[in-house]
Chain A
Amino acid sequence: MDRSRLISLCSPALQAQGYLPEAAQERRIANQYRAIKRPILQRMRAMAAKSKPGEGAQLLMVTSALPGDGKTFTSISLARSIAREQAISALLVDADFIKPHISRILGAHKDPGLMDALADESLDVETLVRPTDVTGLSFLPAGRQRDSATELLASARLKAVMARLSAWDPRRVILLDTAPLLLSTDSRELAQVVRQVVLVVRSGSTPQLAVKEAISRIDKEKLTGLVLNQNEVKANSYYGYGSYGDQ
């Protein structure tokens, strides 16, 4: 593999920016994500058993109601957790065209990505997928910014691209990190092509009303569940279930 194409997901820079947990928390958070991915994967397997390859059973969308809820962190962590699974791999797609955050922090914001594949029919999206230094995890950047992003997303091209990605490897989970639901309509379009949606909520920050609104915009069938992010350890001791089984 071309080493220059390798995306680094273990850099200290990432940690410094807060997208990777610090060493002391690594294990606990890994456990928590393990718990989170289980129902997702279960569902995915059930869906995959009923459908043919290329129908996008592996497609999963990670979104939030508002920016700053920890969507990016969740996407990355969840992707890494899934990648550790045996017999399956993960593909993290930056589908946030408003703010291609992941692409930026991974240093791939100038690289061609999903948007380019959508715009150019001749382009094979699979060629744009980049390997990372995490085994079993690959990354598709957002691509270059375009004004016609919305139209492109609404087109049938998106379906084709997604079909191509899912057909490439039936055992590859495709994680789409999208823009906050309440801030853009892109996510709605993307939600059409995925089979599961995960909504990230930030503890003590995301307004309840916003969460409610966001949920209402998601197809009930597709909403696999919510993830409560950044929960204070102390406040959690009586209510939450996430600390149970830790450490």
Chain B
Amino acid sequence: MQVSFGKFFEELHGTWRFRWQALAVAWIVGWLGWAGVIFWSDMYKATARVFVDTGTPLKPVLQGLAVAQDANAQLNYVRQSLLSTPVLNRIASDAGLLTPQITDPRERARIKEDMNARVLITVRSGSDLGGEGRDSGGVIYGIVYKDTVRERALEVVQQLLNTLVKDTLLGKRQGSQDAQKFLETQIKSYEARLGEAEQRLADFKKRNVGVMPGEQGGYFNRLQSELDAVRAAQSALQVATSRRDEIVQQLRGDSLIAATAAAPPNLNGQNMQSGGGLASRIRETQAKLDELLLKYTDRHPDVIATRENLDELKRRRDADIDAMRHGDANAAADSGASSNPLYQSIQLALNQADVDVATLRRQLEGHRARVAELRSALNTVPQVEAEYEQLNRDYDVNKTQFTALLTQLQKARLGQQADSSGAVRFEVIEPPNANFKPSPPSRSQLIAAVLAAALGVGGGVAYLRHQLNPVFWSAVGLAAMSGATVLGVVNSAFPEAATRERRRDALWYALGVVGLLAVALLLVRANQLSWLPHGMERG
């Protein structure tokens, strides 16, 4: 610690060598700086702040339509309209910046440009206010303007604020109308889409009747009932078939044949040609034969012919019986068996049984076919389900959008009405005000700053020179640096005189520094009393 302390003093001592140069530099820098301050004019700052709730009409209208309401875009719009030429002109002349005396167009342009450059409009999110919650979406506009004359700054800010308020309303209304137009177009397109989706859905339903989800419950039931019907039909068929077979057996029974063979001739006209006719012809022939045998012998040609005839007829009759046995209906009819009432009734029963069997068979086939149909239809069910889902979704989406748009359009229309009745929220949270003190840096501050700079530069110069030109302060340092032996150290021969000299020097030096400080103070005071000239009159 001692070492560094000593080092510090060494550095100080070394810098002190160049103190007079430092002072000279300080004086030069000071005067140059203060001359520059003359050209600086004090500026007064006027501000105003207004809170505008953009939550009404603009935001909810466009919410959900992926159109972000950009605060910057709004700000640009506002700034452009606030600082447009006609507005600037008006404000400039009202505030006294542009007087009728200034006729040079270039001068006028310069003044307006100047003014434009000194206006600062800021926008901040209104959520910083808290309380309302972020959804309110309000913004705070800040207007800042600086001028050399306080009253003028205030006037300009006041004018700008008025213009802003008017433009806000107007700007909002325009935005609302645009939004409505946009909505209407969107609604039309969604309407069309919705119609298409409905149509597609209807077509689909038509195509897939019976297989639609929800109807499938009954569908499975149907399949089940058909399967049951198949089984029932099968068993019924079996029963009918066996009954029929029984009847056939009955028909072919010997007793039946015997009965039919002995049946008396039925003189029904129909029977003559058929089997009944055959039996009677056999009897006739037999009678004829008997008659002939009474007259003639077996060798008589008539008898032989008649016997042959009779044999022939008998053969035919046997053949018919055979055929009857085998169920030939014609044979049965020919043989006259059908004229037998018993036979006829059995035959009827047989016919009915045949009909029943046929009917049942048809029914069975029908049921089987329907089962197959149902089964194949059921296979396509998952596909149908999926497609149906899709179509439903499409439809729902379109419908939701459509409904939403309609709602918003309503809101927008309502909102606009609210607008014109003056319901847009804005609040001047900071009315135009201007500080009586000039905004920093003021001239007084600059004067002090120049002083500080002067002293700093002076000190810096001295220190720099010290660093560039080091000397020896001790034998140790000398020995180390030179590498040679130090024979010895000799103190100041006249310490008191030296001290006196140093003191005198220091005094003069202090005077020089104090002088600089005094000049600074004087300048500040003069500035406060407005004695200091202004180099350039600023617009």
A contact residues vs B (CB 8 Å cutoff)? 18, 20-22, 24-25, 28-29, 32-33, 35-36, 39-40, 70, 73-74, 77, 198-199, 201, 203-209, 211-212, 215, 223-233, 235-236, 238-243
- Contact call A242/B472, Cβ cutoff below 8 A: no
What residue in chain A is nearest B2 (Cβ atoms)? A238
The segment from B60-68, B206-214, B449-457, B488-496 that touches chain A is B488-496
- Contact call B493/A236, Cβ cutoff below 8 A: no
- Contact call A29/B488, Cβ cutoff below 8 A: no
- Contact call B491/A231, Cβ cutoff below 8 A: yes
Check if B428 is an interface residue, CB within 8 A of chain A: no
Question: Whole-angstrom distance between the alpha carbons of A209 and B468 in the complex?
Answer: 10
Question: Whole-angstrom distance between the alpha carbons of A21 and B483 in the complex?
Answer: 30
Partner of B475, one of A70, A230, A233, A239: A239
Task: List 7 tightest A-B contacts by C-beta distance, closest first.
Answer: A242-B489, A239-B474, A225-B487, A36-B488, A21-B493, A225-B485, A228-B489
Check if B100 is an interface residue, CB within 8 A of chain A: no
Measured between beta carbons, the chain A residues less than 8 angstroms from B478 are: 201, 211, 226, 228
**Known: A208-B472, A238-B2. Is A231-B492 also a contact (CB below 8 A)?**
yes
- Contact call B489/A231, Cβ cutoff below 8 A: yes
Query: Per-residue CB proximity of B401-424 to A under 8 Å, as 1/0?
Result: 000000000000000000000000
A–B complex contacts, Cβ < 8 Å, 15 sampled:
A25-B493, A33-B488, A36-B487, A40-B487, A77-B490, A205-B17, A212-B482, A224-B487, A225-B485, A226-B485, A226-B486, A227-B490, A240-B474, A240-B475, A240-B476
Measured between beta carbons, the chain A residues less than 8 angstroms from B469 are: 207, 209
Measured between beta carbons, the chain A residues less than 8 angstroms from B10 are: 235
Measured between beta carbons, the chain B residues less than 8 angstroms from A205 are: 17, 471
Question: Whole-angstrom distance between the alpha carbons of A211 and B486 in the complex?
Answer: 13
**Known: A207-B470, A208-B481, A239-B474. Is A74-B490 also a contact (CB below 8 A)?**
yes
Partner of B486, one of A24, A25, A28, A228: A228
Measured between beta carbons, the chain B residues less than 8 angstroms from A29 are: 490-491, 493
**Known: A231-B474, A239-B475, A242-B475. Is A39-B490 also a contact (CB below 8 A)?**
no
- Contact call B472/A28, Cβ cutoff below 8 A: no
- Contact call B492/A208, Cβ cutoff below 8 A: no
**Known: A208-B471, A226-B482, A228-B474. Is A21-B487 also a contact (CB below 8 A)?**
no
Partner of A211, one of B475, B482, B493, B496: B482
Rounded to whole Å, the gap between the CB of A223 and the closest CB of chain B is 6
Rounded to whole Å, the gap between the CB of B474 and the closest CB of chain A is 3
Rounded to whole Å, the gap between the CB of A20 and the closest CB of chain B is 8
Question: Whole-angstrom distance between the alpha carbons of A40 and B490 in the complex?
Answer: 16
Question: Whole-angstrom distance between the alpha carbons of A74 and B478 in the complex?
Answer: 17
- Contact call B482/A32, Cβ cutoff below 8 A: no
- Contact call B487/A198, Cβ cutoff below 8 A: yes
Measured between beta carbons, the chain A residues less than 8 angstroms from B494 are: 18, 21-22, 25
- Contact call A235/B9, Cβ cutoff below 8 A: yes
- Contact call A32/B491, Cβ cutoff below 8 A: yes
What residue in chain B is nearest A35 (Cβ atoms)? B488
Rounded to whole Å, the gap between the CB of B12 and the closest CB of chain A is 11
Question: Whole-angstrom distance between the alpha carbons of A208 and B478 in the complex?
Answer: 8
**Known: A25-B494, A231-B474. Is A240-B481 also a contact (CB below 8 A)?**
no
**Known: A22-B497, A231-B474, A235-B9. Is A215-B491 also a contact (CB below 8 A)?**
no
Extra pairs beyond A32-B489, A236-B474 (10, CB < 8 Å): A32-B490, A35-B488, A39-B485, A204-B17, A207-B469, A211-B482, A224-B487, A225-B485, A231-B492, A239-B474
Question: Whole-angstrom distance between the alpha carbons of A214 and B482 in the complex?
Answer: 10
- Contact call A203/B472, Cβ cutoff below 8 A: yes
Measured between beta carbons, the chain A residues less than 8 angstroms from B475 are: 228, 231, 239-242
What residue in chain B is nearest A207 (Cβ atoms)? B469
Rounded to whole Å, the gap between the CB of A40 and the closest CB of chain B is 7
Partner of B471, one of A77, A204, A238, A240: A204
Partner of B490, one of A22, A24, A215, A231: A231
Residues of B486-527 whose CB lies within 8 A of A:
486-497
Rounded to whole Å, the gap between the CB of A212 and the closest CB of chain B is 7
Check if B382 is an interface residue, CB within 8 A of chain A: no
**Known: A32-B488, A40-B487. Is A204-B482 also a contact (CB below 8 A)?**
no
